Amino acid sequence: TTSLIYGGCSQARFTPGTPYELNVNSLFTSIVNSASASNFNNFSVSPSGYAQSNNLVYGLFQCEGDLSNSDCKTCVASSVSQLRTICPQAIGGIIQLEGCFVKYDNTSFFGVEDVSVVSKRCGPSIGYNSDSLNRRDAALAYLTASNGQYFRGGGSGSVQGVAQCVQDLSVSECQDCLTEASGRLRSECETSSWGDMFLGKCYIRYVDRDHHSRAHAAGDEDVDKTLALTIGVITGVILLIVFLSSLGKMCDKKGGK
């Protein structure tokens, strides 16, 4: 759950030791602590004595809906740690791990829709297999159905997926975001055996387990064939060396006579 999917930082930087740095540190502490009891929360932080708007920092976290509290906290703590590494002294930053999402900035983004593409990944093509594509479309339709949920999981047969919106959106805004993500996933990943589409405030992911497992099996088979061929070549070389060595000794004996 702590593998990096994407991350980014603002170009603007803050000066170490300033009130804004105190706010960021306080925000990160609040985010990690809150993750032990909830899978989503948002904060606006300004320590006492520094209430000026240019010192305010806004942030939120969200874990995948099926994570336990302990796994959520572990993921969020890793996100904060990685943000400190990849975004040192950045005014704002964003990171998406396999199991959680963290974002902070000096301007409020709470409740703001964002359907821009942040990250997309498409697996290998399985060709125009009508059965697989129909299952993929049915799975995406299931994940984007209007059910009022911010986290959805399920699919159709071998094609399974998950979808989630950041919970600062309204239910209708979540629906709009997932519909946009689904459409982009269909058009940009087309015949892929798996696909991920991460927009600014939501994502959809699917995998065709039949073709995905076959791809791994085919890869393993290729490795086995390559290994067998390599062993065969090495064995042949060894036998040739032994033969030439024996032949050389025979020639030496004849020469000695």
* pLDDT for the residue 46: 84
Structure token digits, residue 163: 């979808």
Question: The pTM is what?
Answer: 0.80
pLDDT one-digit tens code per residue, 221-246 = 333 333 333 334 333 433 434 344 55
Chain mean pLDDT for the chain: 85
pLDDT, tens only, 123-163: 999 998 889 999 999 999 999 998 999 999 999 999 999 99
**pLDDT score recorded for residue 213:** 53
Last residue of a domain, one of 42, 76, 105: 105
58 & 97 share domain: yes
DSSP letters for 155-192: EETTEEEEEEE-TTS-HHHHHHHHHHHHHHHHHHHTTB
Sheet of 117-122: strand order equals 117-122, 194-199, 202-208, 159-165, 151-156
Q: Which of 53, 75, 105 finishes a domain?
A: 105
**CATH number assigned to the domain comprising residue 80:** 3.30.430.20
CB 24 within 8 A of CB 102: no
> Which is it for strands 40-45 and 100-105: parallel, antiparallel or unpaired?
unpaired
Q: Which domain holds residue 15?
A: 4-105
Is 197 inside a domain boundary?
A: yes
Q: What pLDDT is stored for residue 48 in this prediction?
A: 64
- Identify the CA nearest to 155 among candidates 120, 205, 189, 198: 205
CA angle (158 as vertex; 98, 101 as ends), nearest 5: 15
Same domain, 72 and 123: no
Query: Is the residue at 52 inside a domain?
Result: yes
Residues of the chain with pLDDT under 70: 47-53, 212-257
